[in-house]
Amino acid sequence: MRRYLPIVLASVVVLLGAVWVVSEKKSVPKQEPQQKQVAPLCPFGDSFQKEVSKSPLPHFLHTLKLPQPFLIDLSQKEHRGLALYYGRGLRHLLHPKVWERYGHFSTYVLDKEGNLYLTPMPFISIEPQTFAWQKAIYRLESQTGKLKPWRILEEVEASASNPYGVTSIAYDKHDHTLWVGTLNGSTYTEQKGVIYHIDIASKRILGRIEGVDALSLQLLQGKQQRWLLIGSARGGELLAYGLECQEGVNTPQKLFSLPNTQMQIRKMRVIAPNTLLLETIPFSYTLITQSAKEDRVRYIAKWYPQRQKWEISLQMNENVTK
Amino acid sequence: MVKEQKGRKMQQENKIALGILVGGVVALSLYWFLPTSSPKPIIKKVEQEQIILPKEGRVHHAKIPEVEAYLEQLSALMRRGEAVIPLGEEELESRSKRVQTFLLKNPQFLADTHHNKQLLHNDMMRILPALVGSIPERFQQQCKAHHCYEAQKYNFVTNTTTKALVDSDTLSLLSLERYPQMQPDISLRLTHIAQAIALASEDVKEALGKTPSFKDMTMANVRGTMKESPCQNTSHLCVAPTFSDHHAQKALWAVVDLTELRLAAAKWAGLGKTTTPACISERALQNRYIMKHFCQKDTLLKRNGWEISYRLTGSDGLEVHHVSFNGKPVLDSAKIVDWHVSYQEKGGESLDTSTQSYIEGRRVEFRKEEDGNYLFGYNDAMGCPLFSTSVVLAFNAPQIKPLPFGDGFMLTQDFRNPKWPMACNYRYENRFEFYNDGSFRVVGVNKGRGCGDHAIYRPVMRIDVNLGAEEKFYSATQEGWREWLVEGSEFVPTHTTPYPYKITSASDVTRGYKIEPNHGQFHDQSRGDNATLFVTHFHPNEGESDLLTLGSCCNLKEDGVERYVEDNESIDAKKIVLWYVPRIYNDSKKGEEYCWADSIVDDSGNIEVKVWPCTVGPKFIPLKGAE
């Protein structure tokens, strides 16, 4: 028996060690990722410039020899789905019935080949297909003008308690990819939105940013690096995600909240050096329409790199009467 | 030889022991450092808040001297044909006094103070020396040489701020700008009124746990000029006096609506800069309160022998469920799942329906009828103000009120389009009346305004009475009660008998309810239900949980529930669900208004909303009580 003593002793030591390790590991409090107060890896401090969009218009417009200018209309006021006005005074309309097939759209981007990518939008009243339509990113083919679902995100589940799915989109011309924001699954108490980074050529998901409800997305070329700006669906916040930060540690960082936190950023663009124009709407994850002109409020967000400070002001020109 | 073998064996056992030790250490290290399970998706928790809404029925400005004096001055001004409350002496020096006198006689400045000869309530808010930065370039020189003043006036009816630049030396109006939907900094007098309202509020006292005094309060005024006010109820002027509790490191923000002169809402917030709300809105506070207390959980109400669970749904309005009276089950569920809204017009022959049409953001459905008329409209879902598929949203929390004749109580919820009573916006009330004798009534109230007359409203009521798993349904005939053996529907007869239907337990037919449709006998100015009744076999997927839009808004031959009776399933001794769909025709003719609302400017120059509700819904009376 004595000759097995080392084996028995070793087994006992390992067993005791295992009991200790398991109990210790269980007693270590689990850190909620969202509660970590980690300083951003690459804090936003960049100056930025206005970038000229070089995306061409869909090629089929040239094939059809339609005269410029063009206006892509997703307002849903006159036409369901996608409508395109063209010609002098934008008096002519292109709106094939098939462009109504997938319900209503909220926003779009053009890629370097003139393909138009659209995000869906639930609208009054709910139709049997409404929730299913919220799963997809749609593409209007540059060559043919055909509109069809381009990439379906199966995990996106719109529902009666949150009818929103795919909501926001931005095109990254540097690597020919899309950034796509979803709001699905988010509740009053929890933010479960995901931003997907999708390669256009392969339709493969390259990465995900979780726990962010993005109502709008915009790429920003800073002096030092590129940023993904995120208009949060809550709290009137603008977030920034450094695209050249180390993977895994990087999280979106809050740049500022709007003075009125009931307004959420629906559109944004750079209008001058270090200056953003923000178009905001009151957004409540319901189907109430509050995107009419009188509901929209525009803000100017000016960044002062030397002072590392944002200044937010209302853009009032539209409302003032003299 | 034997010793050698023994030594080799010893070595082997040592090797095994060493292997166990090394393997164990490696395995445990891996266990320690590797994550225990696949990473969970990151979910961000949203910060919870403590919100107080004023209790129903409390008069907010009664017997507050500051408010009474203000209202008296306003009505005296109106009687004199003036619309602007001037700034008091304490807010003016000699030059600003001259500027005010000049402006209150200046037709340009006063141009927006009346509408169709009706005076509109305005307040002068500020008259101060103009800051260089606010003087337009073209007047910079003049204002360097002279004393220029900037005056701000606020129109409470149109929610517009007027900004005037005046040369006080020459008494000339240099510039005049109007800012619609903008609120200015408020006058000292209104500041005092807001403080007085907050101090007098019973809700504030309850929240603080003591009667506050003036020194406990700081005034969160509008920051800067021409910005949105901290309370943004779109068209109201609000401010937020704050009560700080330094010991508890928190502050109570009391949102006072100066347009209605009342406490609108209050919210506890931390004292730190990061937790101080940058902007408090009455509507936002209401929404969060409703979400937290009535959309996220059920509430239990016990009163007069009744036990009622209730909640707000995503699109089916206010739902009562698990209702009992004196310990006996009454209702599994009752709710209004939809309001079909349609408008009947002539000239269907020339109607072009080839493209979609929209009214106030709603997609409108058109339907031509055989007689040349056509119908258009939409389906309105009522529900939670956030995270729902509703368009008519819960305003305030559910209220419990006594019935007018003191024979019970009602549980009621107000739903509105945020822009009601503007045209094509709607306001509905879901009401459940519970009587002391065990009767109950499911009630829908429409408060207009809609897009115009010729409107037909059809609330779809789903009523799941709980008389056990086996129930029976009967119609009254001249020969007595006739049982419905299969699913079906019919137009509810009026005036033939007060109780045309009854529902009973299959095992005990004396247990159940007689159904009394409304034909105007409930003393609520109703013109009757004109309802269609559907009786269906219970299926969980037929409305037990939230129902999305049910059927067409505008096909008057169908109510949407037809799909549940198509199979003609047996309902004899089955769990039964009743669907009751009243049909209401609105009226906007003067003196005969029904399902209508209108905004008028009252004698004090402020907007008053007049409502002519229409009330529908059947009453259920216990069989013993009815006989």
pLDDT for B573 beyond 60: yes
CA of B167, closest CA in chain A: separation in Å? 18
Structural contact between residues A182 and A153, judged by C-beta atoms closer than 8 angstroms? yes
Sign of the alpha-carbon dihedral angle for B506, B512, B514, B517: negative
pLDDT for A196 beyond 50: yes
CA of A119, closest CA in chain B: separation in Å? 18
Give the integer Cα–Cα distance in Å for B84 and B74: 8
Per-residue pLDDT, averaged over B366-380, amounts to: 66
Res A208: pLDDT: 92
CA dihedral B322, B325, B329, B331 (to 10 degrees): -50
Interface ipTM = 0.71
Give the integer Cα–Cα distance in Å for B560 and B618: 19
Among the listed residues A235, A242, A192, the one whose alpha carbon sits nearest the alpha carbon of residue A212: A192
Going by their DSSP bridges, the two strands B426-435 and B408-416 should be labelled as antiparallel
- Which has the minimum average pLDDT: A144-148, B230-234, B279-283, B334-338? B230-234
Please provide residue B224's backbone torsions phi and psi, each rounded to the nearest 5 degrees: 65, -170
What are A203-252's pLDDT values in tens digits?
A: 999 999 999 999 999 999 988 888 999 999 998 899 999 888 765 567 88
Band of residue B417 on the pLDDT scale cut at 50, 70, 90: confident
CA of A305, closest CA in chain B: separation in Å? 23
Give the integer Cα–Cα distance in Å for A261 and A188: 16
Per-residue pLDDT, averaged over B327-350, amounts to: 82
pLDDT for B42 beyond 90: no
Res B232: pLDDT: 44
Structural contact between residues A284 and B383, judged by C-beta atoms closer than 8 angstroms? no
Using a CB-CB cut-off of 8 Å, the residues of chain B touching A9 are 17
Give the integer Cα–Cα distance in Å for B192 and B179: 25
Count the neighbouring beta carbons within 10 Å of the beta carbon of residue B420.
22
Fold of B191-284: Nuclear Transport Factor 2; Chain: A, (3.10.450)
Res A289: pLDDT: 59
What are B212-234's pLDDT values in tens digits?
A: 887 777 765 543 323 333 444 45
Per-residue pLDDT, averaged over B183-208, amounts to: 86
Sign of the alpha-carbon dihedral angle for B52, B53, B54, B55: negative
Q: Please state, rounded to an integer, the average pLDDT across all residues of chain B.
A: 83
Going by their DSSP bridges, the two strands B250-257 and B262-270 should be labelled as antiparallel
Band of residue B488 on the pLDDT scale cut at 50, 70, 90: very high
Q: Which of residues 180-219 of A touch B (CB under 8 A)?
A: 186-192, 194, 210-212
Give the integer Cα–Cα distance in Å for B154 and A10: 86
Identify the residue with better confidence: A220 or B376: A220
In total, the C-beta contacts within 8 angstroms joining chain A to chain B are 200
Identify the residue with better confidence: B611 or B252: B611
Structural contact between residues B184 and B162, judged by C-beta atoms closer than 8 angstroms? no
Structural contact between residues B323 and B310, judged by C-beta atoms closer than 8 angstroms? no
Band of residue B263 on the pLDDT scale cut at 50, 70, 90: confident
Per-residue pLDDT, averaged over B598-613, amounts to: 84
Candidates B21, B163, B342, B387: best to mutate against A (most CBs of A within 10 A) is: B387
Domains observed in chain A: 46-256 (2.120.10.30)
pLDDT for B275 beyond 50: no
Residue type, B556: L
Identify the residue with better confidence: B525 or B449: B525
- Cross-chain residue pair B386–A122, CB shorter than 8 Å: no
pLDDT for A318 beyond 70: no
pLDDT for B464 beyond 70: yes
Candidates A76, A80, A189: best to mutate against B (most CBs of B within 10 A) is: A189
pLDDT for B347 beyond 60: no
- Cross-chain residue pair B24–A321, CB shorter than 8 Å: no
Res B274: pLDDT: 37
pLDDT for B59 beyond 60: no
pLDDT for B368 beyond 70: no
* CB-nearest partner of A163 from B9, B389, B553: B389
Structural contact between residues B479 and B494, judged by C-beta atoms closer than 8 angstroms? no
Burial of A190 (0-12, 13-18, 19+ CB in 10 A): middle
Res A118: pLDDT: 96
Task: Please give the share of chain B, as a percent, with pLDDT higher than 70.
Answer: 83
What are B237-251's pLDDT values in tens digits?
A: 777 788 877 677 677
- Cross-chain residue pair B362–A289, CB shorter than 8 Å: yes
CA of B394, closest CA in chain A: separation in Å? 12
- Cross-chain residue pair A286–B393, CB shorter than 8 Å: yes
- Cross-chain residue pair B46–A288, CB shorter than 8 Å: no
Q: Which residues pair with residue B393 across a beta bridge?
A: B383, B416
- Would you say how long chain A is, in residues? 322
CATH of B65-180, one of 3.30.310, 3.30.460, 1.10.8, 3.10.450: 3.10.450
Among the listed residues B515, B338, B552, the one whose alpha carbon sits nearest the alpha carbon of residue B440: B515
Among the listed residues B462, B216, B435, B427, the one whose alpha carbon sits nearest the alpha carbon of residue B334: B462
Identify the residue with better confidence: B351 or A57: A57
- Which has the minimum average pLDDT: A176-180, B278-282, B531-535? B278-282
pLDDT for A54 beyond 50: yes
* CB-nearest partner of B10 from A3, A13, A34: A3
Alpha-carbon distances of B268 from B49, B253, B498, rounded to whole Å:
7, 6, 52
SS3 B438: coil
- Cross-chain residue pair B418–A10, CB shorter than 8 Å: no
Using a CB-CB cut-off of 8 Å, the residues of chain A touching B15 are none
Q: Please state, rounded to an integer, the average pLDDT across all residues of chain A.
A: 85
pLDDT for B562 beyond 60: yes
CA of A60, closest CA in chain B: separation in Å? 24
Res B279: pLDDT: 47
Residues of chain B with CATH 3.10.450: 65-180, 191-284
Give the integer Cα–Cα distance in Å for B165 and B174: 5
E strand segments, B248-368: 250-257, 262-270, 299-303, 306-312, 318-325, 328-345, 357-359, 362-368
Res A295: pLDDT: 73
Structural contact between residues B227 and B221, judged by C-beta atoms closer than 8 angstroms? no
Task: Please give the share of chain A, as a percent, with pLDDT higher than 70.
Answer: 88
* CB-nearest partner of A34 from B31, B44, B296: B44
Give the integer Cα–Cα distance in Å for A55 and B243: 55
Using a CB-CB cut-off of 8 Å, the residues of chain A touching B395 are none
Among the listed residues B472, B465, B479, the one whose alpha carbon sits nearest the alpha carbon of residue B619: B465
Residues of chain B with CATH 2.70.98: 298-626
Band of residue B61 on the pLDDT scale cut at 50, 70, 90: low
Going by their DSSP bridges, the two strands B584-585 and B501-505 should be labelled as unpaired
Identify the residue with better confidence: B116 or B308: B308
Res B351: pLDDT: 47
Per-residue pLDDT, averaged over B330-358, amounts to: 72
Band of residue B352 on the pLDDT scale cut at 50, 70, 90: low
SS3 B414: strand
Res B39: pLDDT: 53
Give the integer Cα–Cα distance in Å for A301 and A270: 9
Give the integer Cα–Cα distance in Å for A134 and A137: 8
Structure tokens at B167: 């040369």
pLDDT for B349 beyond 70: no
CA of B343, closest CA in chain A: separation in Å? 17
Give the integer Cα–Cα distance in Å for B81 and B110: 12
Structural contact between residues A100 and A79, judged by C-beta atoms closer than 8 angstroms? yes
Structure tokens at B389: 């598929």
Per-residue pLDDT, averaged over A134-143, amounts to: 95
Per-residue pLDDT, averaged over A12-24, amounts to: 82
Structural contact between residues B194 and B241, judged by C-beta atoms closer than 8 angstroms? yes
We find that the CATH architecture of domain B298-626 is: Distorted Sandwich (2.70)
Give the integer Cα–Cα distance in Å for B515 and B66: 53
SS3 B90: helix
Using a CB-CB cut-off of 8 Å, the residues of chain A touching B355 are 78-79, 95
pLDDT for B370 beyond 80: no
